[in-house]
């Protein structure tokens, strides 16, 4: 597939490049982006010689007419100019009839994004200004902000947090934990765990504090002081407030071998009366994670699955992943878990250990305690028997948390028809790769979702472009996640309900150009940038006999 993608890029590069500038120039739907927004972004920047981690958090105001004002952002990364602190910016944007948009920010070096609007007024976005093998590849979200929460006093109550990233040599790390805020800047009852480049440690906190330093922009800082093992450490974060229950956070310390650049979120923790117990995990939860495998000098790893807990310390997991550029899956693997009253949860599965922190019932941050440092989220699956008719209507989708620069990031608008037994999904997407952006790539595919034997698990078969195979897991009728099983550089693909069906024919989800800079056009393999599956191919997923075999590198 990669070979065909390379040929397509050679044939149509000039056409696509010309379309990037004009893809949504009409701005007929500019009113869809209106008001105050906070955003978070993570990715990698570099060239053919290598790449390093890069992240940003910030806020802006959209006027509904194509203008960005009152912008402020912080960035962090490796090298000169990578760290920017509270930089003011303005910009412009344009949203087309299908709810796909482009945004240009006036900041040092400039930045251009493609985004897809969601029904709740938020947006998913990617950076699309890499070209000639040089630039930044990454993705993020923009969420409506509550300016009334822009104060230290509004950050009060119990919170859980999770963040992941890399150090300056692309060694991966992740943290998860919780704390209580008293609304005066002091954080108490802090607890956390750290996967430091493949070794898991408890974080024993010696101090934790925060302040909202700018009540006009919702910018604040947070400091966590702790020991892990016998090593004392401090992490300084900058954050921007989405609302009193959600902060977008990023490590603001210089990136070194001892200090990774972590990017993530702090969210309100809903502790039941008497505290969390094993009964706080009961029923179905969809998990999705990304990481970095050691094979091939560092290969992206992505997976998703359905975890079914019995409320008494036992669960089963059906899981699909792309590991070392090959599909891997298992069904109903048994495991055990133990929940502490503060929400910390230890999980054992097939000889592997995971750490999670509960946000709410059946909602978690989690990471795997091994060198792959898989990090991600668990969300409660809606009480429904999922079928094709559930996956129906318009969705905005994007590739989230790329772990190498070879990941093909995209954002787009898609529509599913819900037909049984074989549904059709179509749409248009914008794609970011080091060789240069692709605008309005078309895609159509068939899909099948069933409630048995695994509720809400489905497969997708692409019939446009070079095709490919993917597995999907339904969280609800308005949200699902997907993982491409034959993408050599996979990511988790997240789809959420969008405002209206794309004004497109049955032809548009993802003509995935591979990352040409890092691609292998001679092998005949390809990268999917949407929920990708092979032209006319039937998706067949293998199941291993033991959790240890299938989770061989969870």
* Residues 315, 287 within the same domain: yes
CA distance linking residue 155 with residue 179, whole number of Å: 11
Dihedral angle sign, alpha carbons of residues 368, 372, 377, 381:
negative
Q: What is the pLDDT of residue 444?
A: 83
* Domain final position from 223, 238, 268: 268
| Residue at 138 is within a domain | yes
* Residues 158, 252 within the same domain: yes
* Residues 162, 87 within the same domain: no
Q: Are residues 531 and 482 in contact, defined by beta-carbon separation less than 8 angstroms?
A: yes
Q: Which tokens belong to 358?
A: 């509960």
Q: What is the pLDDT of residue 334?
A: 97
Whether a cis peptide bond, with omega within 30° of 0, leads into 515 is: no
Place of tokens 């248009």: 428
* Residues 225, 183 within the same domain: yes
CA distance linking residue 548 with residue 337, whole number of Å: 16
CA distance linking residue 67 with residue 469, whole number of Å: 39
Q: pTM above 0.95?
A: no
Write the CATH number for 160.
Answer: 2.40.128
* Residues 84, 135 within the same domain: yes
- Which residues 6+ apart lie within 8 Å of 168 measured at CB? 52, 53, 78, 255, 256, 257
Cβ-in-10-Å burial (0-12, 13-18, 19+) of 354 comes to buried
Give how far the C-alpha of residue 512 lies from the chain's centroid of Cα atoms, to the nearest Å.
18
* Residues 216, 256 within the same domain: yes
* Domain final position from 381, 415, 442: 381
* Domain final position from 130, 146, 162: 146
Q: Are residues 173 and 194 in contact, defined by beta-carbon separation less than 8 angstroms?
A: yes
**Domain coverage including residue 40:** 29-146
| Residue at 424 is within a domain | no
Q: What is the pLDDT of residue 466?
A: 63
- Which residues 6+ apart lie within 8 Å of 127 measured at CB? 41, 43, 111, 112, 113, 135, 136, 137, 138, 139, 409, 432
| Residue at 346 is within a domain | yes
Q: How many domains does the chain have?
A: 3
The angle at the Cα of 253, spanning 225 to 493, to the nearest 5 degrees, equals 100
- Which residues 6+ apart lie within 8 Å of 15 measured at CB? none
* Residues 141, 188 within the same domain: no
Q: Give percent of the chain with pLDDT exceeding 70.
A: 85
Q: What is the pLDDT of residue 209?
A: 98
CA distance linking residue 494 with residue 12, whole number of Å: 27
Q: What is the pLDDT of residue 351?
A: 87
* Residues 305, 220 within the same domain: no
* Residues 297, 335 within the same domain: yes
Q: Are residues 355 and 345 in contact, defined by beta-carbon separation less than 8 angstroms?
A: yes
* Residues 118, 135 within the same domain: yes
| Residue at 285 is within a domain | yes
Instruction: Please state, as a whole number, how many other Cβ atoms lie within 10 Å of the Cβ of residue 536.
Output: 10
Q: What is the pLDDT of residue 424?
A: 97
Write the CATH number for 284.
Answer: 2.40.128.620
Residue-by-residue pLDDT tens, the chain, 554 positions: 232 233 233 233 333 333 333 344 468 999 999 999 999 999 999 998 899 999 999 999 999 999 999 999 999 999 888 999 999 999 999 999 999 999 999 998 899 999 999 999 999 999 999 999 999 999 999 999 999 999 999 999 999 999 999 999 999 999 999 999 999 999 999 999 999 999 999 999 999 999 999 999 999 999 999 999 889 999 999 999 999 999 999 999 999 999 999 999 999 999 999 999 999 999 999 999 999 988 877 899 999 999 999 999 999 999 999 988 889 999 999 999 999 999 999 999 998 999 999 999 999 999 999 999 999 999 999 999 999 999 999 999 999 999 999 999 999 999 999 999 999 999 999 999 999 999 999 888 899 999 999 999 999 987 766 678 899 999 999 999 999 988 889 999 999 999 864 443 333 333 333 222 223 333 333 333 333 333 233 333 333 333 333 333 34
| Residue at 283 is within a domain | yes
Average pLDDT, the chain: 86
CA distance linking residue 1 with residue 119, whole number of Å: 34
| Residue at 512 is within a domain | no
């Amino acid at each position: 597939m990669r070979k065909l993608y390379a040929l397509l890029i050679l044939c149509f590069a000039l056409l696509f490049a010309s379309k990037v500038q004009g893809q949504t120039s009409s701005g007929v739907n500019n009113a869809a982006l209106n008001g105050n927004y906070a955003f978070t972004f993570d990715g990698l920047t570099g060239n053919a010689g290598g790449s390093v981690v890069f992240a940003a958090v910030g806020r802006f105001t959209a006027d509904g007419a194509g203008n960005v004002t009152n912008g402020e952002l912080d960035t962090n990364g490796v090298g000169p100019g990578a760290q920017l602190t509270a930089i003011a910016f303005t910009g412009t944007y344009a949203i087309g009839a299908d709810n796909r948009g482009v945004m240009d920010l006036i900041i040092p070096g400039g930045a251009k994004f493609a985004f897809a609007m969601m029904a709740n007024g938020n947006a998913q976005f990617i950076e699309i200004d890499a070209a000639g093998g040089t630039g930044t590849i990454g993705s993020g979200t923009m969420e409506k902000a509550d300016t009334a929460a822009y104060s230290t006093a509004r950050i009060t109550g119990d919170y859980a947090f999770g963040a992941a990233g890399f150090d300056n040599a692309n060694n991966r790390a992740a943290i998860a934990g919780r704390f209580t805020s008293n609304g005066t800047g002091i954080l108490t009852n802090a607890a956390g765990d750290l996967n430091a480049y493949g070794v898991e440690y408890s974080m024993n906190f010696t101090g934790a504090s925060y302040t909202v330093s700018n009540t006009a922009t919702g910018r604040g800082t947070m400091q966590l002081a702790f020991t892990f093992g016998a090593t004392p450490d401090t992490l300084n974060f900058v954050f921007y407030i989405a609302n009193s229950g959600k902060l977008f956070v990023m490590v603001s310390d210089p990136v070194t071998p001892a200090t990774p650049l972590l990017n993530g979120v702090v969210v309100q923790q809903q502790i039941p009366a008497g505290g969390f117990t094993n009964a706080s995990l009961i029923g179905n939860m969809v998990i999705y994670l990304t990481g970095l495998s050691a094979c091939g000098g560092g290969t992206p790893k992505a997976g998703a699955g359905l975890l079914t807990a019995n409320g008494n310390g036992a669960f089963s997991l059906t899981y699909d992943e792309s590991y070392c550029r090959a599909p891997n899956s298992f069904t109903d693997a048994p495991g055990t878990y133990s929940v502490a009253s503060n929400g910390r949860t230890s999980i054992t599965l097939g000889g592997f250990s995971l750490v999670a922190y509960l946000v709410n019932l059946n909602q978690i941050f989690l990471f795997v305690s091994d060198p792959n440092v898989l990090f991600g989220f668990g969300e409660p699956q809606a009480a429904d028997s999922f079928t094709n008719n559930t996956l129906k209507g318009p969705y905005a989708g994007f590739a989230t948390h790329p772990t190498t620069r070879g990941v093909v990031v995209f954002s787009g608008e898609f529509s599913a028809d819900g037909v049984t037994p074989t549904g059709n999904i179509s749409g248009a997407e914008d794609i970011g790769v080091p060789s240069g952006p692709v605008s309005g790539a078309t895609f159509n595919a068939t899909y099948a979702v069933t409630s048995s034997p695994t509720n809400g698990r489905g497969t997708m078969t692409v019939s446009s472009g070079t095709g490919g195979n993917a597995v999907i897991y339904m969280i609800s009728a308005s949200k699902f996640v997907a993982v491409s099983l034959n993408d050599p550089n996979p990511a988790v693909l997240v789809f959420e309900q969008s405002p209206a069906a794309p004004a497109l024919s049955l032809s548009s989800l993802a003509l995935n150009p591979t990352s040409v800079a890092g691609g292998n056009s001679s092998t005949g393999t390809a990268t999917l940038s949407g929920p990708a599956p092979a032209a006319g191919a039937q998706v067949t997923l293998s199941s291993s006999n033991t959790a240890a075999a299938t989770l061989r590198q969870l």
